C-alpha cells in the first residue's frame, strides 16, 4: 500500500470513529431556568438583530444571543451547555458554553485561577486546541464560549476500543505533539495532560481542553499540580 493509500485509509477510519461518537450521547432535559431552557424568542426586532450581529462580530456576547440545546457536563463551578448562536445558519456547528457560578468561584478562592485560564485561552489559537470564541458575564455567572468537539473524550474512546491500532495511535500522538509545540513556543505550560482532557472533533482530530492548570512560564516553575494518577511517579 502506498503512503497516499495509507493516509486515505486512516482518514476513513477516523471518520468512522467520529460518526460512532456522534450517535452516542443523548442528553436529559432539565428543569427550566435561565441557563437550562431559555425561551429563545424568534420575533425580535430588526434593531435587536443588528445589535446581536454587532456583538457577534466583536465577541461581546449576551446570554440571550444563544439557543440552548442540551447539557454536555456538570462540575463544581457550574455546567457546560451545548448552544448555537441565534443568527447562525442551520448548517453551522454548535458551540460549548462553559457557565461558571461566581459564588462558587469566590467560595473556593478560584478567582485568579479563572482569570488565568481566560487570559491563556485568549492568547492562543490552534486547530488541535479547543479555542475560545468569547467571554461574557451576568450578575451570577461567568461564561466562556468554546469550540465543541462532538466526539467526546479520548479516554472514553480508548476504553471502548481497548487499544488503538498503531496508525491511529500515531495519528493522535502527532496532533498532540503539534499542539504542545505550539503552546511551548508561546511559553505556556499545560500541566494536566491526560486522555480525559483530549477531545475528538467531528473529523476525528484531537482537541486539547481544560486549561485550568495551564501557566505562562518564561523561566521555571515549582508548582506541583495536575491529576495524581497521571503524574510522574518520581515527583509524587
**Grid cell listed for 43:** 420575533
**Grid cell listed for 106:** 469566590
Can you tell me the mean pLDDT for 3-31? 54
Mean pLDDT of the chain: 86
Map residue 218 onto helix, strand or coil.
coil
**Grid cell listed for 27:** 442528553
Say whether pTM exceeds 0.95: no
Question: Domain 25-147: which topology?
Answer: Phosphorylase Kinase; domain 1 (3.30.200)
CB 38 within 8 A of CB 86: no
Domain boundary assignment for the chain: 25-147
* Phi, psi values for residue 126, rounded to 5°: -155, 145
Exposure pattern of 38-72 as b/e (b: 16+ CB <10 Å)? Answer: beeeeeeeeeeeeebeebbeeeebebebbbbeebb
**How confident is the model over 59-97, as pLDDT tens digits?**
889 999 999 999 998 888 889 999 999 999 999 999 999
Alpha-carbon distance of 7 to 201, in angstroms, equals 18
pLDDT band of residue 26 (cuts 50, 70, 90) is very low
**How confident is the model over 126-181, as pLDDT tens digits?**
999 999 999 999 999 999 999 999 999 999 999 999 999 999 999 999 999 999 99
Can you tell me the mean pLDDT for 30-35? 46
Give me the residues paired with residue 215 across strands. Answer: 189
Q: Which residues contact 232 (CB under 8 A, 6 or more apart)?
A: none
Map residue 55 onto helix, strand or coil.
helix
**Between β-strands 215-216 and 188-189, what pairing exists: parallel, antiparallel or unpaired?**
antiparallel
Distance of CA 28 to the CA centre of its chain: 20
Positions annotated as catalytic residues are: 192
Amino acid at each position: 500500500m502506498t503512503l497516499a493509500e495509507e493516509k486515505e485509509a486512516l482518514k476513513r477510519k477516523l471518520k468512522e470513529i467520529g460518526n460512532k461518537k456522534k450517535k452516542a450521547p443523548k442528553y436529559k432535559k432539565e428543569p427550566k431556568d435561565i441557563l437550562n431552557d431559555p425561551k429563545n424568542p424568534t420575533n425580535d426586532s430588526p434593531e435587536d438583530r443588528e445589535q446581536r450581529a454587532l456583538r457577534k462580530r466583536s465577541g461581546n456576547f449576551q446570554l440571550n444571543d444563544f439557543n440552548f440545546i442540551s447539557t454536555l457536563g456538570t462540575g463544581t463551578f457550574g455546567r457546560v451547555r451545548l448552544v448555537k448562536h441565534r443568527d447562525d445558519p442551520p448548517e453551522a456547528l454548535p458551540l460549548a458554553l462553559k457557565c461558571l457560578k461566581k459564588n462558587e468561584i469566590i467560595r473556593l478562592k478560584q478567582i485568579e485561577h479563572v482569570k488565568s485560564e481566560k487570559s491563556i485561552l485568549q492568547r492562543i489559537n490552534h486547530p488541535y486546541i479547543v479555542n475560545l470564541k468569547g467571554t461574557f458575564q451576568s450578575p451570577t455567572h461567568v461564561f466562556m464560549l468554546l469550540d465543541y468537539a462532538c466526539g467526546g473524550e479520548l479516554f472514553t474512546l480508548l476504553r471502548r476500543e481497548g487499544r488503538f491500532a498503531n496508525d491511529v495511535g500515531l495519528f493522535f500522538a502527532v496532533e498532540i505533539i503539534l499542539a504542545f509545540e505550539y503552546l511551548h513556543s508561546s511559553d505556556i505550560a499545560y500541566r494536566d495532560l491526560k486522555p480525559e482532557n483530549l477531545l475528538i472533533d467531528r473529523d476525528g482530530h484531537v482537541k486539547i481542553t481544560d486549561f485550568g492548570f495551564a501557566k505562562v512560564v518564561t523561566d521555571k516553575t515549582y508548582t506541583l499540580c495536575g491529576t495524581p494518577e497521571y503524574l510522574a511517579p518520581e515527583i509524587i
